[in-house]
């Protein structure tokens, strides 16, 4: 097990080239088995979730190779419709494989997916939508078995704009017979990216980015070489770190409109925000004021994946902030670790009340999930003294070269084997 040792209190200066978006790349891996032709995903991030997804495809019989940041997937010989419970429990995004497996094999057997421990994430929306497409589903002993003779287009209404369910429906409907109309779809940029990827393979999908997506089933899909969008959550993480530490931090690669509300919140903190094309620069003097209220919502609302990082910033701002988590009921599990660093935060249910303190101090803390771990790193960079952040396995799931990127900005951060 590794840990970060961070000497805080250093201003950050410089630019960060962002990695391809984790939440975009993983559905593209799932979509790659929709064709027997070769698929190349360019600039795939070197993170453990990508490695795990590659292993899932290999277990299905696909050939997956990595070279110079690119991933080549050849699923011509894929023949297995079962995913081992060890891999599904490790990676939440394995649930995307349901739609792809059904399209390719008309069968799918997976265990209930895992990932970060941030609360219940039921997949009823996924399963009910698949039933509308003609899939029979049985569940027992923690496994889900899906089967169909053929997939048929249908009208589907989601009660909640679930990102995963929306993407699963696209993957299941793209080669279904007839037309599928999905109402109540999630609007995240990563869904638009999946639509663009599928259409580059010969699919006929329209409407991603709105709440109504239409899919005309096609008979075949061909191979493609594709570069995913850059990671808006990684962008927010580095921008929040720049705000917390003071200095100037620029991110390169993300469309500003995709993090519009985040930039508004940073201005509310007292930061100066400069935007030019895909370059976003935040200037901070390190003496900021709290946001009055941050409430997570589906896109274009404030992302739940940036809630922990925003809380870490507000913990050392002047005033008080109210942080409301609407999507996951136990996503404040990182708060006791911030409290070890001197944060004054009170959590009641899905709400955290933050009283800003003048400065956090170093401590020994544990990263219990991906985004909570990123929040601890941000807090440590802005704190007085030395902080040890233990259990980097969660952070490694979503951030490539985090230590190197922060060091390039001027941070004192080391990775040490425990």
- Residue 286 shares a structural domain with residue 356: yes
Bridge partners, 226 (sequence order): 41
Q: Mean pLDDT across the chain, nearest whole number?
A: 94
Name residues whose C-beta falls within 8 Å of residue 345's C-beta, 6 or more positions apart in sequence. 311, 315, 335, 338, 339, 352, 353, 354, 355
Q: Please identify, among 175, 192, 217, the residue that sits at the C-terminal boundary of a domain.
A: 217
- Residue 272 shares a structural domain with residue 166: no
Give the tens place of pLDDT for each residue, 380-409. Answer: 999 999 999 999 999 999 999 999 999 999
- Residue 400 shares a structural domain with residue 260: yes
3-state DSSP call for residue 278? coil
Please say whether the dihedral angle defined by the alpha carbons of residues 124, 130, 131 and 135, taken in this order, is positive or negative.
negative
Q: Please identify, among 164, 195, 217, the residue that sits at the C-terminal boundary of a domain.
A: 217
Q: How many CA atoms lie within 13 A of 189 on its CB side?
A: 21
Predicted confidence (pLDDT) at residue 209 exceeds the cutoff of 80: yes
Give the tens place of pLDDT for each residue, 341-373. Answer: 999 999 999 999 999 999 999 999 999 999 999
Cα angle vertex 295, ends 293, 301, to 5°?
A: 125
The answer to whether residue 393 is domain-embedded is yes
Provide mean pLDDT across the span 173-200.
98
Q: What is the pLDDT of residue 304?
A: 96
CATH code of the domain containing 136: 3.65.10.10
Q: What is the pLDDT of residue 329?
A: 76
- Residue 157 shares a structural domain with residue 295: no
Give the tens place of pLDDT for each residue, 67-123. Answer: 999 999 999 999 999 988 877 777 766 777 899 999 999 999 988 765 444 344 468
Q: What is the pLDDT of residue 93?
A: 63
The answer to whether residue 223 is domain-embedded is no
Q: What is the pLDDT of residue 226?
A: 98
- Structural domain boundaries, residue 15: 2-19+230-417
Predicted TM-score (pTM) of the model is: 0.95
Q: What does the alpha-carbon distance between residue 31 and residue 222 come to, in Å, rounded to a whole number?
A: 11
DSSP 163: H
- Residue 239 shares a structural domain with residue 212: no
* Best CA proximity match to 233, nearest among 190, 288, 276, 198: 190
DSSP 46: -
Q: How many CA atoms lie within 13 A of 335 on its CB side?
A: 21
Q: What is the pLDDT of residue 112?
A: 72
Helices marked H in 63-160: 85-90, 97-105, 124-132
Q: What is the pLDDT of residue 116?
A: 41
Q: Please identify, among 166, 183, 217, the residue that sits at the C-terminal boundary of a domain.
A: 217
* Best CA proximity match to 369, nearest among 396, 403, 351: 396
Phi-psi region of 339 (alpha: psi -120 to 50; beta: other; left: phi over 0): alpha
Q: What is the pLDDT of residue 330?
A: 75
The answer to whether residue 222 is domain-embedded is no
Distance of CA 95 to the CA centre of its chain: 14
Where does the pLDDT of residue 143 fall: very low under 50, low under 70, confident under 90, or very high at 90 and above? confident
Predicted confidence (pLDDT) at residue 418 exceeds the cutoff of 90: no
- Residue 213 shares a structural domain with residue 71: yes
The b-or-e profile of 313-348 (16+ CB within 10 A means b, else e) is bbbbbeebbebebbbbeebbbbbebbbbbbbebebe
Q: What does the alpha-carbon distance between residue 143 and residue 293 come to, in Å, rounded to a whole number?
A: 40
Provide mean pLDDT across the span 161-169.
95
Name residues whose C-beta falls within 8 Å of residue 7's C-beta, 6 or more positions apart in sequence. 385, 386, 412, 413
3-state DSSP call for residue 252? strand
Q: What is the pLDDT of residue 122?
A: 65
- Residue 43 shares a structural domain with residue 131: yes
> Which residues are designated catalytic?
116
Give the tens place of pLDDT for each residue, 266-280. Answer: 999 999 999 999 999
- Residue 238 shares a structural domain with residue 209: no
Q: How many domains does the chain have?
A: 2
Q: What is the pLDDT of residue 266?
A: 98
Where does the pLDDT of residue 260 fall: very low under 50, low under 70, confident under 90, or very high at 90 and above? very high
3-state DSSP call for residue 132? helix
Q: For the ranges 110-119, 146-155, 372-381, which has the lowest average pLDDT?
A: 110-119
CB atoms within 10 A of CB 255: 15
The answer to whether residue 402 is domain-embedded is yes
| Helix pair 232-245, 370-382: axis angle to 10 deg | 20
Give the tens place of pLDDT for each residue, 12-57. Answer: 999 999 999 999 999 999 999 999 999 999 999 999 999 999 999 9
Provide mean pLDDT across the span 215-235.
98
| Helix pair 97-105, 163-173: axis angle to 10 deg | 10
Q: What does the alpha-carbon distance between residue 114 and residue 314 come to, in Å, rounded to a whole number?
A: 30
Strand 320-324 relative to strand 293-295, pairing: parallel
- Residue 117 shares a structural domain with residue 158: yes
- Residue 104 shares a structural domain with residue 151: yes
Q: For the ranges 93-107, 233-247, 312-326, 365-379, which has the lowest average pLDDT?
A: 93-107
Provide mean pLDDT across the span 144-152.
94
Q: Which two tokens stand for residue 146?
A: 């899906």
The answer to whether residue 224 is domain-embedded is no
CB atoms within 10 A of CB 381: 29
DSSP 398: T
CB atoms within 10 A of CB 385: 15
């Amino acid at each position: 097990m590794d840990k970060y040792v961070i000497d805080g209190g250093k201003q950050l200066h410089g630019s960060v080239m962002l990695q391809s978006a984790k939440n975009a790349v993983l559905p593209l891996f799932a979509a790659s088995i929709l064709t027997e032709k070769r698929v190349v995903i360019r600039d795939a991030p070197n993170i453990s979730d990508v490695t795990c997804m590659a292993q899932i495809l290999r277990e299905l019989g696909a050939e997956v190779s990595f070279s110079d940041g690119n991933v080549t997937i050849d699923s011509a010989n894929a023949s297995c419709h079962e995913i081992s419970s060890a891999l599904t429990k490790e990676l939440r995004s394995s649930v995307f494989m349901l739609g792809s497996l059904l399209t390719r094999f008309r069968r799918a057997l997976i265990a209930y997916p895992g990932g970060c421990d941030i609360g219940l994430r039921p997949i009823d929306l996924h399963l009910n939508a698949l039933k509308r497409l003609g899939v029979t589903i049985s569940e027992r002993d923690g496994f889900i078995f899906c089967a169909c003779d053929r997939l048929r287009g249908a009208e589907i209404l989601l009660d909640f704009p679930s990102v995963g369910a929306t993407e699963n429906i696209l993957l299941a409907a793209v080669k279904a017979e007839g037309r599928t109309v999905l109402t109540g779809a999630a609007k995240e940029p990563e869904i638009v990216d999946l639509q663009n990827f599928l259409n580059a393979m010969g699919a006929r999908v329209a409407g991603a980015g709105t709440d109504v997506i239409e899919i005309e089933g096609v008979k075949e899909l061909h191979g493609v070489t594709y570069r995913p969008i850059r990671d808006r959550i990684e962008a927010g993480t580095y921008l929040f770190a720049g705000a917390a530490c003071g200095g100037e931090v620029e991110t390169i690669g993300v469309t500003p409109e995709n993090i519009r509300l985040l930039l508004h919140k940073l201005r509310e903190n007292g930061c100066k925000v400069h935007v030019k094309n895909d370059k976003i620069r935040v200037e901070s003097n390190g003496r900021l004021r709290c946001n009055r209220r941050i409430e997570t919502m589906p896109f274009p609302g404030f992302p739940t994946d940036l809630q922990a990082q925003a809380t870490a910033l507000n913990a050392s701002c002047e005033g008080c902030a109210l942080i409301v988590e609407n999507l996951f009921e136990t996503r404040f599990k990182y708060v006791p670790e911030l409290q070890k660093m001197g944060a004054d935060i009170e959590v009641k249910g899905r709400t955290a009340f933050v009283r800003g303190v003048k400065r956090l101090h170093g401590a020994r803390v544990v990263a219990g999930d991906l985004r909570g771990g990123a929040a601890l790193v941000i807090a440590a960079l802005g704190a007085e003294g030395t902080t040890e952040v233990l259990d980097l396995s969660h952070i490694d799931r979503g951030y490539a070269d985090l230590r190197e990127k922060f060091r390039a900005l001027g941070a004192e951060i080391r990775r040490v084997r425990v």
